[in-house]
Amino acid sequence: MIDLELIRRALAEDLQGGEDITSLATVGESERAIADFVSRQPGVIAGLDMAKAVLTEVGLSEITTYCADGDSVAAGTVLMTVRGNTRAILLAERTALNFLGHLSGIASLTSLWVAAVGKSKCQIRDTRKTTPGMRELEKYAVRMGGGTNHRISLSEAALIKDNHIAAAGGVEPSFTKVRKLYPNTPIEVEVDTLQQLQEVLPLNPDVILLDNMSPKECATAVEIVAGRSKLEASGGITLESAAAYAATGVDFLAIGALTHSAPVLDIGLDLRAE
């Protein structure tokens, strides 16, 4: 997946209308080099196309990739090699690594959550807690890690939360208003208690969000709903507790940390003479 506008903004941000003064002073205009993108730690890769596009944007074309997005790699794995003008490689280096490391970090963290729920039917799902301007890329990285995407935008599906319920005067009026105005749109409703769940269930929402409930409460919710709506658990879930939540029978775990707290995968660029 490529976002050329974002790449151009990132490169322009690096130069601020000027030039790479360090490279211009230390590297000859016609000098060439070979550079390897190397993963310093194990993880799942995402963002190779973005990194390649950064290199292409600065005029580099001799690029070889050795893996694909979604691949698991060991520490020390060479992911990609570029050959060409040394100044161009150094200009692209940080921007390419920023995209590649960030997106691979999201994919790697997602893969840990997916592994934590094992072979259960439960899916790991992201949220809208994404970096402004990078939502589609970050949600792509979640998919590369084996996760699934919640709605991309506010227009894609309705999610009736506590503030909507308060503004509309209750769960039923809020649900009815959304259904009337958008009859074909999926609707998810957030509940905080099992009592609220009982109130919401007759409305037949597509998904019910169980907010900050314990695994025991989620298991009871699964029994109450009995397949009439999908169930999504959210809030207070950790990697250590993910398996317990998945075992309750809920359909999704909503994990905001996939995008807002994923550590960057350590990837470096090793330059050598051609």
Active site residues per annotation: 94, 129, 161, 190, 211
Tokens of 119: 């072979």
Sign, CA dihedral 168-173-175-177, equals negative
Integer Cα distance of 140 and 69 in angstroms? 10
Integer Cα distance of 2 and 52 in angstroms? 9
**98 residue type, one letter:** N
Integer Cα distance of 113 and 241 in angstroms? 10
